[in-house]
Amino acid sequence: MDFLKEYWPFLIPLVLAQFALAITALVHVLRHPNYRFGNKIMWALIVVFINLIGPIVYFVFGRGEE
């Protein structure tokens, strides 16, 4: 367990950034009806179940034009 204490200063900001990115992407998925590929349900599942990479993939490939 002492091994993990050494990495807390690096893990906490990473976890907070991942959580904020996931919440932001999920809110965007739920509010906007237009997507480049797929539909609302598909993007919500990708954002929620594929940690860190899912929200990034959504913002790069899935977000439609405003």
Q: Check: CB of residue 9 under 8 Å from CB of residue 41.
A: no
**48 within some domain:** yes
Instruction: Tell me the percentage of the chain whose pLDDT exceeds 70.
Output: 95
| Residue numbers of the domain that contains 46 | 17-62
**4 within some domain:** no
**29 within some domain:** yes
The model's confidence at residue 23, banded by pLDDT at 50, 70 and 90, is very high
pLDDT of the residue at 13? 92
pTM of the predicted structure, to 2 decimals: 0.74
Domains: count for the chain: 1
Task: Give the length of the chain.
Answer: 66
> Is the four-CA dihedral 66, 25, 28, 42 of positive or negative sign?
positive
Please write down the HEC assignment for all residues of the chain.
Answer: CHHHHHHHHHHHHHHHHHHHHHHHHHHHHHHCCCECCCCHHHHHHHHHHCCCHHHHHHHHHHECCC
